[in-house]
């Protein structure tokens, strides 16, 4: 017998999506704090712990939710997402938390461009203008110049956003046939398998404190994904997707409290422009048919939101 759809509650949906991206900010802070650990180790434990936490949720309806006829697409999606995560964890160790989080969450600025190249989707003039606003903000954040060549962490974070956008476009393709939790299951499984050899090769036994950081990265990643799926059961993507950018506020506060990261006027203007450009591209580029929910989400935590939104 089919289960009844949950009743819609916009306030609850907004609360859940904000809570989800608070978890993303905390996860990012744990990753930044684990500066002494190899990036491959952080990436492996993020995927493996998330898989362990998320598996009971996937299995709540039986093993049938693990079935898929599109394994090659899952592999492509997982590798793109994994590259985004690895590049992000590397960059966040080298720069302020809020800048790294903001740049990697600039994925909505790349999605229309990827869709143009990959699928031939035309970019509307209004969307193109929003992308221009966002990329001006990106330039203000990365501050092109000699220092950028000496420390390319900003460019690495931006490259992570590009791979994140590729992953989200792929998620949109998968969302036509697979459930959000099925997509996440294969992402965490494939990412765990792919990072395991690198983690073993660069193994460094974590201290008790570092074990806590690794567990935090994995648990908060899994919590973020679960909260996003729940949020999209109570509100539509167009209603709550702009709240994804609450992660920038949370990251700025955490970075200021823990690492005393201060924002100058130029950086603050860049944050406002990137956020405005991203939100506008989310709203303006929303397709009229329901199969393209990936336009409405972004970045780390957006994997669940993309597939959940696409099924609305």
Query: What average pLDDT does the structure give for the chain?
Result: 87
CA dihedral 114, 290, 19, 23 (to 10 degrees): -40
For residue 289, the enclosing domain spans 10-61+68-310
| In a domain? residue 3 | no
What pLDDT, on a 0 to 100 scale, did the predictor assign at position 5? Answer: 53
What are the C-alpha distances in Å from 299 to residues 88, 162, 183, 222, 232?
10, 10, 16, 14, 16
| In a domain? residue 189 | yes
Confidence of residue 224 (pLDDT cuts 50, 70, 90): very high
Percent of the chain at pLDDT exceeding 90: 60
What pLDDT, on a 0 to 100 scale, did the predictor assign at position 302? Answer: 54
Residue in 98, 88, 248, 252 with CA at minimum distance from that of residue 161: 88
What pLDDT, on a 0 to 100 scale, did the predictor assign at position 289? Answer: 36
For residues 67 and 165, give the distance between their C-alpha atoms in angstroms, rounded to a whole number: 25
For residues 137 and 85, give the distance between their C-alpha atoms in angstroms, rounded to a whole number: 22
| In a domain? residue 209 | yes
pLDDT tens column, 75-116 = 999 999 999 999 999 999 999 999 999 999 999 899 899 988
| In a domain? residue 73 | yes
Whether the CB-CB separation of 91 and 158 falls below 8 Å is answered with no
pLDDT tens column, 36-69 = 999 999 999 999 999 999 888 888 878 887 889 9
Asked whether the predicted pLDDT for residue 2 surpasses 50, the reply is: no
Confidence of residue 32 (pLDDT cuts 50, 70, 90): very high
| Three-class secondary structure assignment of the chain | CCCCCCCCCHHHHHHHHHHHHHHHHHHHHHHHHCCCCCHHHHHHHHHHHHHHHHHHHHHHHCHHHHCCCCHHHHHHHHHHHHHHHHHHHHHHCCCCHHHHHHHHCCHHHHHHHHHHHHHCCCCCHHHHHHHHHHHHHHHHHHCCCHHHHHCCHHHHHHHHHHHHHHHHHHHHHHCCCCCHHHHHHHHHHHHHHHHHHHHHHCCCCCCHHHHHHHHHHHHHHHHHHHHHHHHCCCCCHHHHHHHHHHHHHHHHHHHHHHHCCCCCHHHHHHHHHHHHHHHHHHHHCCCCCCCCHHHHCCCCCHHHHHHHHHCC
Arithmetic mean of pLDDT, 135-145: 91
Confidence of residue 306 (pLDDT cuts 50, 70, 90): low
And the tokens for 74? 């899952």
| In a domain? residue 4 | no
Higher confidence at residue 51 or residue 146?
51
| In a domain? residue 131 | yes
What pLDDT, on a 0 to 100 scale, did the predictor assign at position 181? Answer: 85
| In a domain? residue 1 | no
Arithmetic mean of pLDDT, 184-194: 95
Confidence of residue 264 (pLDDT cuts 50, 70, 90): confident
For residues 240 and 277, give the distance between their C-alpha atoms in angstroms, rounded to a whole number: 16
- What is the residue whose two structure tokens read 């609450």? 246
For residues 231 and 215, give the distance between their C-alpha atoms in angstroms, rounded to a whole number: 24
| In a domain? residue 114 | yes
Number of folded domains that form the chain: 1
């Amino acid at each position: 017998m089919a289960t009844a759809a949950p009743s819609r509650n916009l306030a609850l949906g907004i609360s859940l999506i904000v809570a989800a991206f608070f978890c993303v900010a905390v996860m990012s802070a744990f990753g930044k704090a684990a500066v002494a650990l190899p990036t491959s180790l952080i990436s492996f434990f993020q995927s493996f712990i998330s898989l362990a936490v998320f598996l009971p949720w996937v299995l709540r309806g039986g093993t049938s939710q693990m079935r898929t006829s599109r394994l090659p697409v899952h592999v492509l999606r997982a590798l793109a997402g994994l590259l985004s995560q690895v590049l992000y964890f590397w960059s966040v160790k080298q720069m302020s938390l809020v800048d790294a989080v903001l740049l990697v969450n600039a994925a909505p600025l790349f999605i229309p461009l990827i869709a143009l190249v990959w699928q031939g989707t035309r970019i509307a003039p209004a969307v193109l203008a929003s992308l221009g606003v966002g990329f001006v903000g990106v330039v203000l954040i990365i501050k092109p110049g000699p220092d950028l060549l000496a420390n390319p962490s900003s460019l690495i974070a931006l490259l992570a956003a590009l791979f994140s956008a590729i992953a989200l476009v792929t998620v949109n393709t998968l969302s036509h046939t697979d459930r959000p939790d099925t997509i996440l299951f294969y992402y965490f499984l494939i990412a765990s398998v792919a990072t395991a050899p690198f983690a073993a090769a660069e193994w460094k036994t974590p201290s008790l404190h570092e074990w806590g950081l690794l567990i935090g990265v994995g648990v908060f990643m899994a919590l973020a994904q679960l909260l996003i799926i729940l949020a999209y059961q109570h509100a539509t993507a167009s209603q709550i997707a702009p709240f994804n950018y609450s992660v920038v506020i949370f990251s700025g506060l955490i970075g200021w409290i823990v690492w005393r990261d201060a924002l100058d006027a130029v950086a603050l203007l860049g944050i406002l422009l990137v956020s405005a450009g991203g939100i506008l591209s989310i709203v303006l580029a929303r397709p009229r048919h329901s199969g393209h929910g990936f336009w409405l989400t972004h970045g780390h935590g957006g994997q669940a939101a993309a597939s959940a939104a696409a099924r609305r």
